[in-house]
Structure 1
Amino acid sequence: ISFGTLLAGESVPFFHSHMENEENYIILSGKGRFQVDDEVFDIAEGSVVRVATGCDRNLKCTSDEPMTYICIQAKEGSLGGYTMTDAEITQRDNRL
């Protein structure tokens, strides 16, 4: 998991792709443009973008204020279960 900030007009200085890991970008503030291979689309606060392995990616801040984002990287296809199949209800005193 990484945290990034791009200033107005700034982009990541390189395209890159991963052989085994997918990336999930969550835009926390600002707005910009995202490119995956030859597809370009707008992103803004609240956008979530998943990029599969073998795809070139890059992003650019197009807002006047900085664009901040979180990038979560994980091995593609590694999620063996999700909340409904991997969780179990437990018994514990609630102290909240």
Structure 2
Amino acid sequence: METIYTYEAKRQELIRRLRKIEGQVKGIARMIEEGQYCLDILIQVAATRAALHKVGMMVLEGHVHGCVTRAVREGAGDEVIDELMKVIEKYTKE
């Protein structure tokens, strides 16, 4: 049986956001190639990081509403919560 992750419901939105981020990264590369002003580049880097963070939060939300909730109901909450906390720790490091 194939596992269906909760973020699947938002797959198209996630893909759309990631394609936009891809365009932003290409735009930043172009700005650097063209020798544009440093602060303008940094503003675009910050916007791209924020967009990528939003994608991660959407996936995390799906995980909590789906996988974590299901594990708690099935009595395996502690293990899944420990796993989640390790991932959140990595995710929030800069």
TM-score by length of 1: 0.21
Question: Which structure has the larger Rg?
Answer: 2
Which has more strand, going by share of residues?
Answer: 1
Report the TM-score when normalising by structure 2.
Answer: 0.21
